[in-house]
Structures are given as C-alpha cells and as structure tokens.
Structure 1
Amino acid sequence: MSETAAEPLPRGEVVVVTGMTGAGRSTAAKELEDLGYYVVDNLPPSLLPDVVRLVDGSLGKRQPIAVVVDVRSGSFFASLHTQLAQGFEGRRTTLVFLDASDEVLVRRQEAARRPHPLQASGRLLDGLHRERRVLADLRGDADLVIDTGALNVHQLTDRIAEAFGTPGSTQLKVTVLSFGFKYGIPVDADYLADMRFLPNPFWIPELRDHTGRDSDVADYVRSRPGAAEFLDAYLPVLTGVGAGYVREGKRFMRVAIGCTGGKHRSVAMTEEIARRLVAAGFEAKAMHRDLGRE
C-alpha cells in the first residue's frame, strides 16, 4: 500500500514594521504580539535572517514573526531593501509603513517630550524631514501604508488586527473607504475616485439628514445620470488591478471614494462598490471615515 507524503506545513509570515517616528510603531508591535507574533523591536535589518533561524529552531517554522525597524538602526538601516528582496527562509514577507503628517508627528513628539533621533542640535521638524528622506523609498515599496494621523490607539490596533488577524490568509483584502474632500484626501489610498460629479442629496430637504447608508439616499445616488456608467466602468478596473495584486503577492488594496462632506454620495457608492467586489470574489469591506462629522 503506497503512502502519500504529507504536504509541508505553511511557514509563518514575517511582518516588517517601519515608518515615521511618532506614527505608532510601538502600538502596532504590541497588537501584533497580542495576535501571536514573535515581536522584536529596533532590530538591525542585517540580523533578520538570524532571528528567523532562531525562531524556526525554537518555536517552529509556522510561528509568525514581526520586527520593528527604524532609523535608530543607523547604517544597518540601508541593508533593509536587500534583506526584503532576498526574503527570509521561504516565509511570506509584508512591509508595513506607518505615516502621519508633520503637524501630527510634531504634536505627538512634543506631548511625549522626546527628541527626534535625527534631530541632533536642530529643530524637531528638521529631524522629521531627514527621516522622510531616508524612508522615502521604503514607503514607496510598502505593501501596506497606514496613515495614523486621524487614528487613535484603538483605531490603529483595529487596522492591524484587520490586516493580520488571520495569519496565513493569502486572499487580497480590499478596503473601500468613503471620505469628504473638505476633511482632506486619505494619503494611504491606492486608488481614489471623486463622486462630486453626481447631484448632491444635501440640497434635497427630505434627504439632507439621511446618509448614504439609508436606502432613500442610496437609491437616489445610484439612479442619477452617470452613476451606473461609472460603476460599470470602474469595477472592471478594480477587479483587474486586484487580480494583478494577487499575482504579485500583494495582500492589501485601499480604494477611497470621495464627495464634499463624506455623508451622502461617497457613502452610497462605497457601499455599492464593496458589494460588487464581494460578488466578484474579493474580500472587501466598506468603511466611512467622515460619516457623522456633519
């Protein structure tokens, strides 16, 4: 009787967390630890392969690993690109970049009463600008960019849990986010669409106090001239890009849908786009950044 060889168990992934000082790296690391990751903070990138081998030997190859890397690593930091390109013992690698505006980062650093590691004898803002230059390429290569400027600690941990709460999943996770242009464009969006070409329900008294989640507003928005044409044209773009992301090993896609205040048009279209993406076989969810601000 022949015996079929068992398939090798999948290896745990390696999540590399980096980003701007004050953007929430420690919060992200703590949440990853709570999710079962073996976490190492402020690790020189050149030591990453050694950490993976040690974890393989002591905790097993399925143990997921998270490492926090920042500019405090000094000259070692330059080797991170090389290490990421080479990979780590066959494990899937995800690069997470945490960011926020200079204004937010300065406010957080001043509240914590900590100097910036690249500040030297200059201003805090000088240190931030140096750090942005050093990190520019990594930000461009990141698999997941999270703008933490408008997030509190709990919201950031929710974003991390949303992304890494199911270790081993290789399905593309799509977030469709509604927003209001009056409150600023989401800087971590991969794709952005403007719904201000549609009539605004705000000017219809019986719809003004409702939102795009209400059926009367949603029906109104989707029935306006151009709405169906937009959806029919935009969805194939997103599904095509999503399929390409999967082929390239990318796991996250963030689509931002905007209108003036983020209450009516963008909300209704976000819900519909997320619904169609789910119907097309993607793991998609709708989120509403500015709903309730008006």
Structure 2
Amino acid sequence: MSETAAPEHREHADFLVVTGMSGAGRSTAANVLEDHGWYVVDNLPPQLIPAMAELASKARDTGAGDLRIAAVVDVRARPFTAHLREGLASVRAFGWSPQLMFLDATDESLVRRFESVRRPHPLQRDGRLLDGILEEREVLGDLRADAHVVIDTSGLNVHQLRRKLTPIVGVQGGPSLRLAVMSFGFKYGVPLDADFVFDMRFLPNPFWVPELRTLTGVDRPVAEYVMSQEGATSFVDRVVAVMDPVTAGYRREGRSYATVAVGCTGGKHRSVAVAQALVERLGDDDVATFVVHRDLGRE
C-alpha cells in the first residue's frame, strides 16, 4: 500500500476529513489530531460537513485566529460516499482547502483486530468477518483513490500509529510535548492525573515564618526563602536531569501530554515556589511547559 504526502497547511486554516476502513485507526487519528490542537468532530455524517465548514468559517472570519478543523467520518454505505464528495466540494466554497486522509490496513491485520476485540465487522451481517471487510473495501475503493493522504496502519500498535501520524497532523517546528507542572497540597489529595509526584515537605515550611505566612510561593520573598533552603536547588537540578530522558522517551513514543505534580502540606508555599522554578527549567523547543497551582487560594 502506498503512503502519499502530508496535506499542505494553509496560512489561516486547515480542513481535514479522516475516513477509511473500519478497524484501521480512525479513533486513534482523532485523538492525535485533538492532541495537536485540531478541533475534531468524530463520527460526523458526511451530509453535515457543509454545515460544519460554514460554522468554522464564521468563527474564522470573526477573529478566531488560525483554525484547524477535522471531521472523522464513516462512509461504509455507498450513498454516504457520494455525500462526502459533495461535502468536500462545498467546503471549498467556504474558502477552505479540504484534504482527505484515508486510513487503510491489510485484510489480515483488520481480521486480527476485530477478533482481538471480539466484535463483528459493521458490514458482516450473517456472513464471515472477511466478507464484511471485502464489501467495505469495495465501497471505499474510489474514495481511497481520491485521498490526499493514505496511511497504511498494518502491523502498527496504537503508539506506533501515533508516531506515524504526528509528523503529518502536527504543527511543523512546534513543541511535540506539553508538560504541566502542578503544585498541590497533600491534605487535599494527590492529583489523579499526575504522572510524577514529588514531595516538598522535606523543606522548612514558610507557614511558620510570621512575615511569610500570608504570602504564597508566587511571591518573591517566599520563593527566595524556599529556594535558599538546603537541598532545594539540588532537588530542582535532579528533577530536571531525571525528566530529560523521560520527555525524550515520551516524544519517541508519541505521547503529547504529561503532568509533574509537586506537593507540600497545603499547596500554598513550598510546592508553589518549586513548581515555578521547575516550569522555567523543563521547557525547550520541543517541550511546552505551563504551571498549574491546584490548591492555591484554598486556605
């Protein structure tokens, strides 16, 4: 199976329609698109593509900035194929340059995937699994030939498919990983979405310094106090050293988001100051960092 070039990106907007064989990875493609900042509508009937293009055009024209729109469509039925062609034509009338991405896989790969999840093929009906795959392939044959991008997902797991799709749908030259650095208070519970958790309670608590008690780790006096304590600077240095191979591995594996959680007792002083220090050190050209102070203001 061939793999064609990536769709060219317009200066102001992109409109990508994703379709293909059932079981070839449309859901994974939708997730990758969302991770890279596309506005995605999954399982959109082809008849509604013109309406979606019109709404997106209005948002673009009212100053919404550079928009990237994606519609993941299921066109197993022959009438739907015709509707999709009509929809793509109407999208151009709204000033977009629509591109069609088709996800495909060998019959053998599709059979294995359906058998692994123990689900019938949507077109199988009373026949064999392979009968449904062959019928769908016949229906979609012409559409595949019209696609701007054809991706063969045979033999790829979810993570490998993400890595394959990222150069096509991602912003060229932009960060491939978004890293959240979150401060929190242990007394309010450890964040459920944390990938890494660090405990700042080994540092003296500014709460017991009268002139610092009412301030927070965002304030310079507290930040300077926390970072001047023994072990604070070396801790930040070591976290940065630990996260360097981790973020590199995340990028290789196609992971686009991770959270580093830094906790103290109440999430007001130590964890906030250290999170501020970390977010400035962990970012680079390929890692976009941002800070979240989950429990700041709860006391």
Q: TM-score, normalised by structure 2?
A: 0.50
Q: Decide which structure has the larger Cα Rg and report it.
A: 2
Rounded to whole Å, the distance in 2 between the matches of 1:245 and 1:287 is 21
Rounded to whole Å, the distance in 1 between the matches of 2:230 and 2:84 is 58
Among 190, 209, 219, the alignment partner of 1:204 is: 209
Rounded to whole Å, the distance in 2 between the matches of 1:197 and 1:235 is 18
SS for the counterpart of 1:246 is: helix
1:224–1:281: structure 2 CA closer, same or farther, 3 Å change rule? farther
> Given residue 7 of structure 2, which amino acid in structure 1 is its aligned partner?
L
Rounded to whole Å, the distance in 2 between the matches of 1:274 and 1:15 is 32
Partner in structure 1 of residue 7 of structure 2: 9
Contact residue 179 and residue 257 of structure 2 kept, 8 A:
yes
Rounded to whole Å, the distance in 2 between the matches of 1:281 and 1:273 is 16
Partner in structure 2 of residue 120 of structure 1: none
1:204–1:36: structure 2 CA closer, same or farther, 3 Å change rule? same
Partner in structure 1 of residue 151 of structure 2: 90
SS for the counterpart of 2:283 is: helix
Q: Give the Å deviation of 1:249.
A: 1.0
Rounded to whole Å, the distance in 2 between the matches of 1:269 and 1:257 is 7
Partner in structure 1 of residue 39 of structure 2: 36
Rounded to whole Å, the distance in 2 between the matches of 1:235 and 1:224 is 18
Superimposed CA distance per residue, residues 152-187 of structure 1 (whole angstroms, 9 cap, x where no aligned partner): xxxxxxxxxxxxxxx734610000011100000011
Partner in structure 1 of residue 23 of structure 2: none
Q: Give the Å deviation of 1:35.
A: 6.1
In the alignment, structure 1 segments of 5+ residues that lack a partner are 1-5, 18-27, 42-47, 64-74, 81-87, 93-137, 144-166
> Given residue 39 of structure 1, which amino acid in structure 2 is its aligned partner?
D
Q: Does 1:173 align with 2:212?
A: no
1:222–1:40: structure 2 CA closer, same or farther, 3 Å change rule? same
Contact residue 175 and residue 253 of structure 1 kept, 8 A:
yes
Contact residue 217 and residue 269 of structure 2 kept, 8 A:
yes
Partner in structure 2 of residue 287 of structure 1: 292
> Given residue 226 of structure 2, which amino acid in structure 1 is its aligned partner?
V
Q: How do 1:57-72 and structure 2 match up within 5 A?
A: 59=88, 60-61=98-99
1:209–1:79: structure 2 CA closer, same or farther, 3 Å change rule? farther
- Identity rate of aligned residues, in percent? 41
Partner in structure 1 of residue 194 of structure 2: 189
Superimposed CA distance per residue, residues 60-85 of structure 1 (whole angstroms, 9 cap, x where no aligned partner): 5468xxxxxxxxxxx999369xxxxx
How many equivalent residue pairs?
Answer: 185
Q: How do 1:116-195 and structure 2 match up within 5 A?
A: 168-169=170-171, 171-195=176-200
Partner in structure 2 of residue 260 of structure 1: 265
Partner in structure 2 of residue 217 of structure 1: 222
> Given residue 168 of structure 1, which amino acid in structure 2 is its aligned partner?
G
1:10–1:176: structure 2 CA closer, same or farther, 3 Å change rule? farther
Rounded to whole Å, the distance in 1 between the matches of 2:275 and 2:296 is 12
SS for the counterpart of 1:291 is: coil
Q: TM-score, normalised by structure 1?
A: 0.51
> Given residue 252 of structure 1, which amino acid in structure 2 is its aligned partner?
Y
Superimposed CA distance per residue, residues 41-74 of structure 1 (whole angstroms, 9 cap, x where no aligned partner): 8xxxxxx8945996986555468xxxxxxxxxxx
- How large is the Cα RMSD of the aligned pairs? 4.5
1:79–1:265: structure 2 CA closer, same or farther, 3 Å change rule? farther
Rounded to whole Å, the distance in 1 between the matches of 2:152 and 2:228 is 47
Q: Give the Å deviation of 1:278.
A: 2.2
Among 273, 276, 298, the alignment partner of 1:271 is: 276
Contact residue 201 and residue 264 of structure 1 kept, 8 A:
yes
1:182–1:89: structure 2 CA closer, same or farther, 3 Å change rule? farther
Contact residue 10 and residue 62 of structure 1 kept, 8 A:
no
In the alignment, structure 2 segments of 5+ residues that lack a partner are 10-15, 19-25, 45-71, 89-97, 102-113, 120-148, 163-168
Q: Give the Å deviation of 1:36.
A: 3.2
1:15–1:263: structure 2 CA closer, same or farther, 3 Å change rule? farther
1:172–1:216: structure 2 CA closer, same or farther, 3 Å change rule? same
